[in-house]
Chain A
Amino acid sequence: MGSQRLYLLAVVALAGGSLLLAALIILGELRDDSALGGGALGAILVAYGLIVLCLRKMGLIGPRRAEGK
């Protein structure tokens, strides 16, 4: 379905972006640049949060266990 593909695209894009951000973290470490490393770390966590949301919209993960089913 159209929306499934859109979410899948978003997940792939975010995952690719996360890879890039991980590289930036390493770059920040090499250059002793905390701002770069820290910023990339923050951005990667936001990306992970969005990936989890897209997976939920796709139906691949379900509600919190505490909420049943």
Chain B
Amino acid sequence: MYRRALTWLLRQTLKLDVSINRVYPTDWNPLYYTGGLSHFFLFVLVISGILLLFYYVASLDGAYASVRYLTEQVPYGFILRGIHRYAADGFIIAVLLHLFRNWFTDRYLFARDGPWISGMFLLILGGFIGINGYQMVWDQRAQAITEIFVAILQSIPLAGAALVRLFLGSEGISGAMLPRILFLHVGTASFLYMLLWWHYVRIRHPKIWPPATWVLALLGLVILLSALPGTRPTAGAAAQPGVPVTSYPLDVFFLLPFWLVSYLPPIVVGVGLTVLLLLGYVIPYLQREEEPQMGVRHAGIAQVIDGNCTGCELCYYDCPYDAIVMVPSPHPGLTKAAANRKLLAAVMDSRCVECGICIGACPFEALELPKFLEADLTRRIAEAIQAQPATA
């Protein structure tokens, strides 16, 4: 059931590519760069965030005033705010596209669960950082979501009060709150880059930047949205702790759980979110049956044929997952070419995804896939040549 749904989703995802590849050359298809798009938006967020930090005052009295000053008095101030906000929305969109595309196209198998797990952490922390951002403005919306957030935390048995102290700096809304939230916002954002190291570490040549046309167009779109009258950021009304907030504009990317709380009890929202995220973590480990066509063939981990390896390093350079290392050769090889070798290739089982690219790279027949040997291929070729021509 799960498998069939996933296969259907995979086919639909790739069908989307057909339309997009009519407009864009395939190596500029934005869906092939969803990771790069996320990284680009993160970069814009960091730069615009640093600039915003020059104006922000992290105190209950000063926060709203400083944001309002930036929005209304500083030339291009509201543009800067808008860039930060729309880049954040763009970041979440890109990250979700990245998640769904990599999920539907099976790009999490074998050693690729590392990027997946770190990616889930990145998603959660990204969402959390966004919520902090909305809190920092300390307007009516910030007050409302802070109160809901506190309510959700307090509904957690045992740990509730401690969590409130962690996220707010004290038992409730106080002078300690905004500096704490500022730290959580900026510190977690820095921590994202450490998670990104984990995210990239097993991938060779990660596509960190999208193609130029997308960098220009998306940066321009973000700036344009900040300037247009309908989408321009404005300063709402200031927060008044103690006075209940009736309504506030919703940002669907970060504030959806808060909207849900108006319909469901906070504990349900909290538990529901947690379950959803835990399911996300489990995805790489839900085995799909191998169907060689449009499935990942489990051809067996690449095996080095010790006797033939000459230490030429071609497989080492070609492996997309850094799964091959060159070790000093402990003994000479058997063939003439391998007899004088200095290095020997070694496949790291934990990193091999059984793709076979190293087999194609090796000129000395020193690598084989256990379930698809050179002999198998040669036999298929011979069969094809000897097959009788199709009767018309």
Contact = CB atoms under 8 A, between A and B. Distances in A.
A contacting B, Cβ–Cβ less than 8 Å: yes
Interface of A: 32, 34-39, 41-50, 52-53, 56-57, 63-64, 66-67
B332 to A, nearest CB: 35
A11 to B, nearest CB: 13
B342 interface: no
A38 B231 CA distance: 13
Contact of A45 (B24, B76, B219): B219
A53 B28 contact: yes
B27 A39 contact: no
Contacts of A66: 205, 207
Contacts of A37: 76, 227
A27 to B, nearest CB: 14
A35 B227 contact: yes
Q: Is the interface of A mostly helix, strand, loop or mixed?
A: helix
Nearest to B205: A66
A64 B229 CA distance: 37
B221 A46 contact: yes
B280 to A, nearest CB: 30
A42 B75 contact: no
A44 B76 contact: no
Given A34-B76, A49-B217, A56-B213, A42 B25 contact: no
B28 A38 contact: no
B78 A34 contact: yes
A43 B27 contact: no
A7 B236 CA distance: 45
30 contacts: A34-B76, A34-B78, A34-B79, A34-B227, A35-B78, A35-B227, A35-B229, A36-B227, A37-B227, A38-B76, A38-B79, A38-B227, A41-B223, A41-B227, A42-B221, A42-B224, A42-B225, A43-B224, A46-B217, A46-B221, A48-B216, A48-B220, A49-B212, A49-B216, A50-B213, A53-B28, A56-B213, A63-B27, A64-B211, A66-B205
A56 B217 CA distance: 15
A13 B320 CA distance: 42
Interface string B195-221: 000000000010100011111111111
A8 B131 CA distance: 45
B133 interface: no
B377 interface: no
A37 B221 CA distance: 14
A39 B220 contact: no
A49 B27 contact: no
The 3 A-B pairs with the shortest beta carbon distances in the complex, nearest first, are: A45-B220, A42-B224, A49-B217
A34 B82 CA distance: 12
B200 to A, nearest CB: 15
Interface string B21-53: 000110110000000000000000000000000
A34 B217 CA distance: 20
B266 interface: no
Nearest to A61: B212
B286 interface: no
B76 A46 contact: no
A39 B78 CA distance: 12
Contacts of B211: 64
Contacts of B219: 45
A34 B77 contact: yes
A48 B220 CA distance: 9
A20 B224 CA distance: 16
Contacts of B212: 49, 52
B357 to A, nearest CB: 15
Given A38-B223, A38-B226, A64-B211, A45 B216 contact: yes
B222 interface: yes
B78 A49 contact: no
B232 interface: yes
Contacts of B79: 34, 38
Contacts of B24: 53
B28 A56 contact: yes
Given A49-B218, A56-B25, 14 more contacts: A35-B232, A39-B224, A42-B220, A42-B224, A42-B227, A45-B216, A45-B217, A45-B220, A46-B216, A46-B224, A49-B217, A52-B212, A52-B216, A63-B25
